[in-house]
A = this chain, B = another copy of it.
Amino acid sequence: MAIVSVPVEKSYRLLNIGATTLVSAKAEGIENVMAVAWSCALDYGALSKVTTVLDKQAFTRGLVEKSGLFAIQIPVANQAELVLKLGTTSRHTDPHKLDGVEIFYQDGFDIPLVKGCAGWILCELIPSEDNQQNHDLFIGKVIAAYADDRVFKDNHWIFDQAPNELRTLHYVAGGQFYLIGEGVEAE
């Protein structure tokens, strides 16, 4: 496998299928990652933007507010337990939350990324006091994107040709997910 660059213009394709995401950030040398089911594309093209929802109690939220940077990444089936853990523990109460989580960085971007995901979208916060305070809603401008070329190629997901454990996770509740399924073409 290789991690390949995805054009910023096409980064919305990574989010289009509505998979559950992990949101990561770093400030003052401290990294964190949380699970977020509510991340969404907001625009495509040169002005590609995303939304994500970060609760006021989330440790990661503070890191985003301080650094103005975050990443949305798309975990896969064999990370289901990791995703659940990252969504149910907080670095506020568990300083070792990230123990066992493999973090890496892409050249030129000081944003922690989680190894083993299918896609990564690196963002610069577009600050909005009203959205952040009243809705816990954070808007990001996409500055770079990457994907695992076993499941995303030529700007399209290619799950039909990929191993099952690389399918994206779609959260329901109580530890229950659905994997992305079979492809269909409409005319």
Which residue on B lies nearest to A175, using beta carbons?
A: B186
A178 touches B180 (CB 8 A): yes
B184 touches A159 (CB 8 A): no
Q: Residue A92 at the B interface, CB < 8 A?
A: no
The stretch from A24-32, A34-42, A106-114, A117-125 touching chain B is A34-42
Q: Residue A61 at the B interface, CB < 8 A?
A: no
Choose one: B38, B170, B172, B183; the contact of A40 (CB below 8 Å): B38
**Alpha-carbon separation in the docked complex, A43 to B182 (Å):** 30
A17 touches B130 (CB 8 A): no
Contact string against B for A residues 140-183, beta-carbon threshold 8 Å, 1 for contact and 0 otherwise: 00000000000000011101000000010111110111111111
**Alpha-carbon separation in the docked complex, A56 to B179 (Å):** 33
**Alpha-carbon separation in the docked complex, A173 to B153 (Å):** 13
Q: Residue A33 at the B interface, CB < 8 A?
A: no
Known A18-B19, A37-B41, A49-B135; judge A157-B178 contact (CB<8 A).
Answer: yes
A residues apposed to B, CB below 8 Å: 12-13, 16-20, 37-43, 49, 51, 53, 77, 80-81, 83-84, 128, 130-131, 135-137, 139, 155-157, 159, 167, 169-173, 175-187
